[in-house]
């Protein structure tokens, strides 16, 4: 590839958004006659970075400033102290970040990456772009103007005099698809069916694979039936698998789609369910291995999310090329422009329209299968904090899960795919494909005091923490634990009430006799709303004593206002005690203040 016109686009994506942005940059670069190469950071050799001319980085921030898994190796290399301040002096770069300003560490990964690249001598060619999920158009609200500036800057690097926009005859050209579909005769015996498809397609990087499938042995509603929120306690039998996990670990779950949703999609697209197909890259891919054929229905069920995910903007652009009705073609082209960005966001993302619903709104569109495979969002795993200790429950994994339900701006009722599926599984026959990954919450050694703040289902990882400490306490001394729990009503959503109260009595790990305590905030039982931050302030002396004794503070729950309000409560205690070392930011730097939140 000609280095003079080459543009390398490196992305780090957790949910697919950063990958989508990177691929868009690659398409726009090709339309401007550059030579783009789009790669995930975990597939690129960072030792080659100094030999690049122009590199565009796209990185998402997850949770509280966390890097995507695909960026960790790349980032570790960049932090190597042996790299000189002039190592990247010949590299021109740009950074676009994806984040959510509802989190305290908004776009933290992009900010750190930009700073580190500059420290290594690289030259920034355009302002740092920061996409925000809170924007009325999502991250594309910042992306569109940033791309305009980017292409102007890139044109300057290569000394091109032509306009920064592509020519009219290439602006709406249909790019070649990334995959090709191979049809097979029905007598082929090596057909991958069911969840074996998860393994079969992993070599194409379409899916993450599950470690094993386990029987769900308990499915119990924790909240009162009169309460609007359905929260479940789930238990899985590990059998003789030997699977191990630690408090703070996370369970990945691969959900199943309903037969009705899959059939509806296949009927709309005119797909022959029994047909045997395999999917191959359109161009040669190093290390690619052929996979066994599967039926079209299995391909849709196991790979393509036709039940819950909304299509991305490029989906509408490609649909335009296959629309037979002129009015549909015009509307799709409008949606694909920056002028139609806000209307597309309101129509698509805010309503969480599925691929099937979009296709039904444009009945003249007939997308070929290779484009459906490329454009339909991947069926992705969901992750839940494990809410049990293996010491307390040998051979079991427990989850504490809210069944997700919401109403869209246009009053459509929506349900979470995975939580609804798990809640409806039979507690004696339901088998779930799962795997364990490390979470950001790690239980310290038994001699370290704990301050836990977990309202609602945020209590899940702390149930594991407390059960683990209780099991250890049977044979050795353990440090005190303060646990602050919050819910709306004492009679409706007081999750694990009896268990917490038992731990707080008879010299249990939450008992005052052991220097600990269990404190509950009910926000709706009285006219004045009381939240966990109020209980923390009420116990300021006890809280500060444990901080002085070296306590680690863990916060888990919804990302709304809770994390900031809780941090402010701890800040106020530090100020009241005249000890700035007890402030959350100081403790965070020491690894003693850890937050895990979700939206």
| Residue 290 is labelled as binding a ligand | no
Quickly tell me which residue has 């701006």 as its tokens: 409
| Residue 544 is labelled as binding a ligand | no
| Residue 18 is labelled as binding a ligand | yes
Q: Assess contact for 499 and 483: CB atoms under 8 A.
A: no
Q: Taking phi first (over 0 means left), then psi (-120 to 50 degrees means alpha), and beta for anything else, what does residue 256 get?
A: beta
| Residue 531 is labelled as binding a ligand | yes
| Residue 63 is labelled as binding a ligand | yes
| Residue 417 is labelled as binding a ligand | yes
φ and ψ at residue 574, rounded to 5 degrees: -60, -40
| Residue 598 is labelled as binding a ligand | yes
| Residue 512 is labelled as binding a ligand | no
| Residue 203 is labelled as binding a ligand | no
| Residue 437 is labelled as binding a ligand | no
| Residue 581 is labelled as binding a ligand | no
| Residue 24 is labelled as binding a ligand | no
The pair of three-digit structure tokens given for residue 421, joined into one six-digit string: 């599926």
| Residue 6 is labelled as binding a ligand | no
Cα–Cα dist 436/245, whole Å = 7
| Residue 501 is labelled as binding a ligand | no
| Residue 13 is labelled as binding a ligand | yes
Cα–Cα dist 243/249, whole Å = 12
| Residue 540 is labelled as binding a ligand | no
| Residue 294 is labelled as binding a ligand | no
The pair of three-digit structure tokens given for residue 162, joined into one six-digit string: 């032509």
| Residue 43 is labelled as binding a ligand | no
Within 8 A by CB and 6+ apart from 260, the residues are none
| Residue 523 is labelled as binding a ligand | yes
| Residue 382 is labelled as binding a ligand | yes
Query: DSSP H helical segments within 91-189, as ranges?
Result: 108-119, 140-157, 168-171
| Residue 199 is labelled as binding a ligand | no
Write the DSSP symbol of residue 230: -
Nearest to 431 by CA among 239, 156, 579: 239
Side-chain half-sphere exposure of 474, counting CA atoms within 13 A? 7
Cα–Cα dist 580/582, whole Å = 5
| Residue 102 is labelled as binding a ligand | no
Cα–Cα dist 559/596, whole Å = 9
| Residue 61 is labelled as binding a ligand | yes
| Residue 336 is labelled as binding a ligand | no
204 strand-pairing partners = none
| Residue 418 is labelled as binding a ligand | yes
Angstrom distances, CA of residue 338 to CA of 56, 122, 145: 21, 30, 9
Query: What's CA 368's distance to the chain center, in Å?
Result: 29
| Residue 243 is labelled as binding a ligand | no
**Binding site members:** 13-18, 60-63, 133, 352, 382-385, 416-419, 457, 523-524, 529-533, 565, 598
**Binding site members for NADP(+):** 457, 523-524, 529-533, 565
**Binding site members for FAD:** 352, 382-385, 416-419, 598
**Binding site members for FMN:** 13-18, 60-63, 133
């Amino acid at each position: 590839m000609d280095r003079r016109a080459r543009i390398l686009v490196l992305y780090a994506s957790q949910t697919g958004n950063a990958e989508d942005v990177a691929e868009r940059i690659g398409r726009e670069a090709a339309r401007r006659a550059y030579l783009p190469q789009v790669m995930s950071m975990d597939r690129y050799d960072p030792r080659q970075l100094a030999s690049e001319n122009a590199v565009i980085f796209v990185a998402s921030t997850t949770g509280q400033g966390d890097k995507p898994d695909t960026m960790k190796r790349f980032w570790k290399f960049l932090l190597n102290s042996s790299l000189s301040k002039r190592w990247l002096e010949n590299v021109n770069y740009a950074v676009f970040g994806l984040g959510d300003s509802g989190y305290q560490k908004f776009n933290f990964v992009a900010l750190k990456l930009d700073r580190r690249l500059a420290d290594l001598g690289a030259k920034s060619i355009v302002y740092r772009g920061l996409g925000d999920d809170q924007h009325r158009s999502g991250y594309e609200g910042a992306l569109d103007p940033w791309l305009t500036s980017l292409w102007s800057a890139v044109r300057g690097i290569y000394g091109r005099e032509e306009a920064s926009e592509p020519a009219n005859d290439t602006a709406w050209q249909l790019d070649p698809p990334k995959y090709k579909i191979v049809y097979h005769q029905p007598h082929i015996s090596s057909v991958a069916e069911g969840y074996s498809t998860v393994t079969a397609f992993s070599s194409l990087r379409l899916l993450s694979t599950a470690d094993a499938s386990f029987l769900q042995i308990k499915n119990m509603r924790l909240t009162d039936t009169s309460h609007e929120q359905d929260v479940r306690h789930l238990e899985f039998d590990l059998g003789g698998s030997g699977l191990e996990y630690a408090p703070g670990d996370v369970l990945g779950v691969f959900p199943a789609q309903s037969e009705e949703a899959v059939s509806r999609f296949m009927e709309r697209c005119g797909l022959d369910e029994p047909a045997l197909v395999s999917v191959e890259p359109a161009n040669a891919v190093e290390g690619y291995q052929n996979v066994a054929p599967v039926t079209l229905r299995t391909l849709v069920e196991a790979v393509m999310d036709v039940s819950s995910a909304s299509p991305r903007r490029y989906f509408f652009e490609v649909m335009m090329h296959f629309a037979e009705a002129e009015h549909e073609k015009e509307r799709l082209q409008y949606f694909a422009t920056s002028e139609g960005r806000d209307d597309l966001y309101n129509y698509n993302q805010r309503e969480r329209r599925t691929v099937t619903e979009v296709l039904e709104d444009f009945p003249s569109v007939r997308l070929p299968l290779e484009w459906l495979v490329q454009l339909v969002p991947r069926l992705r795993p969901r992750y839940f904090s494990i809410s049990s200790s293996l010491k307390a429950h040998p051979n079991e994994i427990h989850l504490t899960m809210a069944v997700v339900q919401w109403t869209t701006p246009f009053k459509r009722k929506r349900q979470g795919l995975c939580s609804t599926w798990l809640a409806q599984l039979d507690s004696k026959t339901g088998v779930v494909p799962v795997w364990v990954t490390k979470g950001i919450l790690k239980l310290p050694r038994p001699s370290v005091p704990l301050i836990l703040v977990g309202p609602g289902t945020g209590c899940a990882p702390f149930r594991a923490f407390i059960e683990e400490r209780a099991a250890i306490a049977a044979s050795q001394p353990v440090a005190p634990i303060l646990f602050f729990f919050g819910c709306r009503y004492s009679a409706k959503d007081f999750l694990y009430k009896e268990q917490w109260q038992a731990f707080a009595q008879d010299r249990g790990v939450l008992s005052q006799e052991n220097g600990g305590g269990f404190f509950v905030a009910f926000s709706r039982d009285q006219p004045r709303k009381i939240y966990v931050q109020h209980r923390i302030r009420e116990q300021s002396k006890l809280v500060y004593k444990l901080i002085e004794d070296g306590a680690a503070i863990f916060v888990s729950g919804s990302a709304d206002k809770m994390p900031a309000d809780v941090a402010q409560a701890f800040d106020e205690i530090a100020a009241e005690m005249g000890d700035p070392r007890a402030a959350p930011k100081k403790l965070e730097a020491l690894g003693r203040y850890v937050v895990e939140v979700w939206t």
